[in-house]
Structure 1
Amino acid sequence: MTSTPPATRTAVVTGASSGIGAATARHLARAGYHVFCAARRVDRIEQLAAEVGGTPVACDVTDEASVAGLAAAVGGRLDVLVNNAGGAFGGATPVAEADSDAWRRMYDVNVIGLMQVTRALLPALVASGDGVVLNVGSTAGRIAYEGGAGYTAAKHGTQVVNETLRLELFDQPVRVMEIAPGMVKTEEFGLVRFDGDEEKAMAAYAGVAEPLVADDVAEAIAWMVSRPSHVSIDELVIRPKAQAAQHKVHRVF
């Protein structure tokens, strides 16, 4: 495990084993942070931490004991928390055909998990004197669409927790931010949502020449958390140019 020099700025990134999380860890490391790469897949975060000079921490955000282990690994001071762990499960089914377990999983990771990690690390963020909590939401947390009620409900939950936390911490040295990406093409999000069905996973990007990629979002996250301490980027919505709105996407076949 890599030791952290006392003067080094520190960051935690959850869901760091792939996609936006892994890209964010790389961007923050390049910006000078010692990154605690947190995720369930130990082999992946060990490789990532070795690459960026960070610390791998096995963590399931839905498990309180696991989150307590993350807090213990971080210690008494933390500069940045990126709550990136999340996901969609159960495909794109209408409410009339919804899977209750898939809905519970989505709420558990996107809302309860976010809360548990934030709650556990808030003392360390306050102790830094200039902490940042950045929650990775989604444009799905702002508008409904057919077949997406479980995910949109969970990501609306992410947004509301973010807004509430900002109100509750208004007099503390902690800024609370959210980035809400639109269409981002990563290697796993769609596959997880559609239980490994690659055809369904790729259908969302059909005809879109340039969807966002993980690096686009990670670069924006690194910019947000590095603003001067009096500047809070409360909310940043980021989409590919092709996506004018959730239902209006330029596709060329």
Structure 2
Amino acid sequence: MPTVLVTGATSGIGEATVREFADAGWHVVATGRRADRLEKLIAELGDQVTTSAFDVTDAAARDAAVAALPPIDLLVNNAGLARGTAPAQEAKLDDWMAMIDTNVVALVALTRALLPGLVERKGAIINLSSVAATYPYVGGNVYGGTKAFVRQFSLGLRSDLAGTGVRVTSIEPGMVETEFTFVRTGDRAKSDALYKGANPMTAEDIAATLLWVATLPPHLNINTLELMPVSQSFAGFAVAREGVA
């Protein structure tokens, strides 16, 4: 039975991924900060799931958790954070640093810790990036920058790991209806308005995609995969005009 480690497993895409892989017969190590939500996964899925409650940005807790892990065949770096929607000149530096610590520093540290075992087992890494890595938008500033890092880091890993048998994929979703926007804005009405009538993707859609990538024949690698709901497309260029209100 292969084993997958899923970070950020207490909600949204991470939680759906735990269920998707468990239902497919994988042993899932689910990690996240909220121990009560992890316990619910165990109650639901039984011994298909092992949990580890820790904050990925806490280096000591992360290292202790890694030391206790079973051999891992697939790392799904899903834990991520978006804070604030203000333009850069009005954004809070603390929000920026929190996003960098979670989306970049923690992801890099966990990946590096597991790489020797993944090479030994000819495993795989799936990193959750975003369309924000490619398409900038007002207020996306550091969040988009962190996701661009995740995309480029994934490609760099592919280059370094050539010949090892380890596969690496950057998954880059557009609009997915989860609690992500509510957590980002703290405003339920704004979150609901964003998704209303848009027929966005679901966490289950992305989880099914991750399983598909993970179960492809071992000689195939999906380098990057960008997904959007049919209702979502690309914004036009913004133009600031002098003398126009």
TM over 0.5: yes
Distance across 1 between alignment mates of 2:139 and 2:174: 16
* Distance apart, 1:171 and its partner CA: 2.3
**Is 1:185 aligned to residue 180 of structure 2?**
no
Match of 2:123 in 1: 131
The question of 1:71 aligning with 2:66 is answered yes
Provide TM-score, normalisation by structure 2.
0.92
Equivalent position SS for 2:230: coil
Q: Output the CA distance in 2 between the equivalents of 1:42 and 1:232.
A: 34
Could you tell me how far apart the structure 2 residues matched to 1:24 and 1:116 are?
22
RMSD between aligned residues: 1.5
Unaligned runs of 5+ in 2: 238-245
CA distance in 2 between counterparts of 1:74 and 1:122 reads 13
Instruction: Decide which of 170, 173, 188 is 2:162's aligned counterpart.
Output: 170
Paired residue type of 2:133: G
In structure 1, the partner of 2:190 is 200
* Cα distance change of structure 1 residues 84 and 93 upon mapping to structure 2, 3 Å threshold: same
Unaligned stretches of 5+ residues in structure 1: 1-7, 249-253
* Residue among 187, 201, 208 paired with 1:212: 201
- Shift in Å at residue 247 of structure 1? 6.1
When the two structures are superposed, what TM-score results if normalisation uses the length of structure 1? 0.89
> Residues 4-19 of structure 1: matches in 2 within 5 Å?
8-19=1-12
TM-superposed deviation, 1:200: 2.0
CA–CA separation in structure 2 for the residues paired with 1:110 and 1:67: 14
Identity %: 44
Letter in structure 2 aligned against 1:61 = V
**How far apart, CA to CA, are the structure 1 residues paired with 2:203 and 2:236?**
21
User: Would the aligned equivalents of 1:9 and 1:34 in 2 still touch at CA under 8 Å?
Assistant: yes
Look up the match of 1:82: 76
Count of residue pairs brought into register by the alignment: 235
Amino acid at match of 1:63: D
* 1:172-231 C-alpha deviation (Å, 9 max, x unpaired): 221111111000001x2011101x2112222322331x1001000000000001111100
Determine the C-alpha separation between the residues in 2 that align with 1:241 and 1:41: 33
Q: Contact (CA 8 Å) 1:61, 1:116: kept in 2 or not?
A: no
8 Å CA contact retained: 1:62, 1:116 = no
Cα shift at 1:246: 5.2
The amino acid of 2:188's aligned partner reads: E
Partners of 2:236 and 2:104 lie apart in 1 by: 25
